[in-house]
Structure 1
Amino acid sequence: MSFSKNLGLLYYLFPFIFVTKNKISLILSILRGAKYHKIKLLDGTVVKFHYLQFNTMLAFLGILTFANSYSVKQDRKLEVVFGKRSKFTIPLDNMTFEDSNLILTLFGCLRHGADFVTNEEDFRYRRDKTIKITEENGKKILELANGIKFYIDSIHPGNTITATFTQDIHTMNREKNWSGKTVIDVGPECGDTPLYYANLGARVYAFEPIKAHYDAMIKNIELNPHLAERITPINAAIGKDGMLTFYQNAKANIAEMASYVYNVHGKDVKTTQVKGYSFRSLFTEFKISHVDLFKIDCKGCEFELTPDVLENVDAVKISNTYDENPERRQEKLIDMLESAGFRCVAYRVNPNRDRQSTSKTAQIYGIKVPK
């Protein structure tokens, strides 16, 4: 990784570095792109993170920064306390994917105003941003104030929990009645948005191309049987008909960006073949005549939309990421939507991209203007 990119990583880490004793050596380790980064806590405990675990390391320092107190036990397990009713134990060695997701969830949600409890009695007195974390049959389960549950080892903490439920980025108008409405969800990843819209009363068709994400989504939907009957999960891509080649990170299965439009993973890429439907084909294949909301997060496939496809669509919500290709710029997408009769607004949701223009990375919401 280049020095400039390492400097950018340090930019995100720096506010949380003050809970370490080895600030200078940690800064130098990041700047020179070391394979492993060592953190020395204030009590002298050393914790090591691989450079690919940078986000987990950032979140780890973040939760120590936010904590009321923390201590390392003799078995090298960290006990971190956020209040009288919020205490968690995290191993400092051989962290599992679930352990990492717990750290990332705590960090992401705490920084956006959530609080955590670990038992039903405390959960009775919850606020809208209270999250309960318990364990059943050896699996940690997260429950939101609205009753939706997720397996912690089957989520993308940033998207699944922090953005969708703590930041509440998908609520456009609280006065809208979703009961009986139809939502097409392109790119639901681990199932957060299908469960979100189903909980509001909508009928959701959820198209997820990546098998690991799809399997995680199925697990989370099954954890919410009262909502499962409103969701139709489909392991397929949207954008073009036929078998599509997806580019994924070769070193991870869940929570990594995947696209058939472009490859951002460089040499760490792996490819998979996924059945695809064009936006036009999905209407006929799944017998959908009208869409109340097209929610699209598909890393480039949104540029396959055309005005005729949107003829029977009332609203769109698109997660758009900057693309160097001049044919895939946000202004072209918004121009197309407005030519199809939508009034659009672009807004920000990701604090980690606060150095980029909204014209480069944004959520786009468009609502059809009555003729």
Structure 2
Amino acid sequence: MKALVNFICCFVPRKQWRKKIRYNLIYRKIRRKELLGYGFKINAGIITTPEGVKIDISDKPDHPLYLIKEVFVKSEYNLNIRKESILIDIGMNRGAASLFFATNENIKKIYSYEPFKPTFELAKRNLELNPQLSEKINAFNLGLGKTEVTLELPYIATATGAMSTIRNVCKGEKKIKKETVIIKDAAKELTPILEENKNKHIIVKCDCEGAEFEIFERLSEEKIVGKIDIVLMEFHFDKPDRLIDTLTEYGFAVQVKPGSSKSRTGYIYAVRMAERIC
């Protein structure tokens, strides 16, 4: 099968099209079989994790098995959380990470941000499938940034997890839509949340396709970074040096896990070792 698909791709002129053909005909089936081997169950377009979390995978344009594997199998966000904590999820996408954290009894509340309306609706669907877990989750159809602004941004349904508020990642794609996106000042938005939960551990998960640089720059300006205890971040489009410098300035121990050198992505795991700023 793989040889046949690769042969067909020899006659497809565009790299992006070849990539989609290979994914739909080869890798989706492999990933599905792999997840079943890990104890996942699939029924009527719903995949259920071994922990009992249900995720809708029925939409055809952007089959989210890659996201499910990243969160529930590769355990990119697996923490041993022993203290009462809250999670701030910047870049909720379909809500998989928020639901994953909600299974932890020591996570008492989750604040999740997703700027793109169609993706936010997919997340709402997954929250509805998990009513007990979603009681913890406050979901906002907003993006975070350095300033408050309303933007008209390109959006494609075939790559919901790659949409960015700071860069056009849709060049060369077909079926591009325009979405109105509301960006809030990260410092103003998060300050009341941190005040309300100042007696709990503050965990920030950040996967927002390049906006992480301006978000943490803004949080640093208001010294909010020093009020955070743990940061789990995926960085995009640039070297992570500025992010590392900001975190170390506020007393974090930082570990960097390189991802794709071609697309300049990777992971940052940071734990604050210094006293929290009150």
Aligned to 2:243: 333
Can you list the C-alpha shifts for 1:243-268, whole angstroms capped at 9, x where unaligned?
3325333x426625222212122264
> Structure 1: how far apart are the matches of 2:147 and 2:197?
19
Selected match of 1:212 from 99, 118, 123: 118
* Count of residue pairs the alignment pairs up: 261
Selected match of 1:223 from 129, 154, 159: 129
Paired residues of 1:186 and 1:238 also in contact (CA < 8 A): yes
Shift of 1:53: 7.2
1:17 is aligned with what amino acid? K
- In structure 2, the CA distance between the partners of 1:279 and 1:288, relative to structure 1 (3 Å rule), is farther
> Structure 2: how far apart are the matches of 1:222 and 1:193?
15
> Structure 1: how far apart are the matches of 2:103 and 2:265?
28
Selected match of 2:39 from 130, 142, 151: 130
- Map of 1:251-290 to 2, 5 A cutoff? 251-252=156-157, 255-266=160-171, 268=173, 270-284=177-191, 286=193, 288-290=196-198
Aligned to 2:31: 108
Selected match of 1:344 from 246, 250, 254: 254
2:19 is the alignment partner of 1:54:
yes
> Structure 2: how far apart are the matches of 1:177 and 1:244?
39
> Structure 2: how far apart are the matches of 1:370 and 1:357?
34
- In structure 2, the CA distance between the partners of 1:241 and 1:141, relative to structure 1 (3 Å rule), is same
Aligned to 1:200: 104
- Map of 1:86-101 to 2, 5 A cutoff? none
- Map of 1:238-317 to 2, 5 A cutoff? 238-245=144-151, 247-249=153-155, 251-252=156-157, 255-266=160-171, 268=173, 270-284=177-191, 286=193, 288-290=196-198, 292-304=202-214, 305-306=216-217, 307=220, 308-317=223-232
1:130 is aligned with what amino acid? G
Paired residues of 2:94 and 2:122 also in contact (CA < 8 A): yes
Identity %: 22
2:234 is the alignment partner of 1:319:
yes
Paired residues of 1:160 and 1:191 also in contact (CA < 8 A): no
Aligned to 2:82: 177
| Deviation larger for 288-297 or 145-154 | 288-297
Aligned to 2:143: 237
Paired residues of 1:241 and 1:281 also in contact (CA < 8 A): no
Shift of 1:114: 3.3
Can you list the C-alpha shifts for 1:55-79, whole angstroms capped at 9, x where unaligned?
35335224xxxxxxxxxxxxxxxxx
Aligned to 2:2: 17
Compare CA radii of gyration and give the structure with the larger one.
Answer: 1
- In structure 2, the CA distance between the partners of 1:285 and 1:52, relative to structure 1 (3 Å rule), is farther
Shift of 1:148: 0.3
2:276 is the alignment partner of 1:361:
no
The higher-RCO structure (CA 8 Å, 6+ apart) is 2
> Structure 2: how far apart are the matches of 1:346 and 1:330?
8
RMSD: 2.7
- In structure 2, the CA distance between the partners of 1:319 and 1:225, relative to structure 1 (3 Å rule), is same
Q: TM-score, normalised by structure 1?
A: 0.63
SS at match of 1:213: helix
Q: TM-score, normalised by structure 2?
A: 0.82
> Structure 2: how far apart are the matches of 1:292 and 1:56?
42
1:33 is aligned with what amino acid? R
Paired residues of 1:295 and 1:316 also in contact (CA < 8 A): yes
Aligned to 2:10: 28
> Structure 1: how far apart are the matches of 2:9 and 2:206?
38
Paired residues of 2:9 and 2:18 also in contact (CA < 8 A): no
SS at match of 1:311: helix
- In structure 2, the CA distance between the partners of 1:200 and 1:56, relative to structure 1 (3 Å rule), is farther
1:131 is aligned with what amino acid? F
- In structure 2, the CA distance between the partners of 1:210 and 1:27, relative to structure 1 (3 Å rule), is closer
Shift of 1:158: 4.4
Which ranges of 4 or more aligned residues in structure 1 deviate by more than 6 Å? none
SS at match of 1:115: helix
Paired residues of 2:54 and 2:126 also in contact (CA < 8 A): yes
Shift of 1:130: 0.8
| Deviation larger for 271-280 or 193-202 | 271-280
Shift of 1:54: 3.1
Shift of 1:320: 0.5
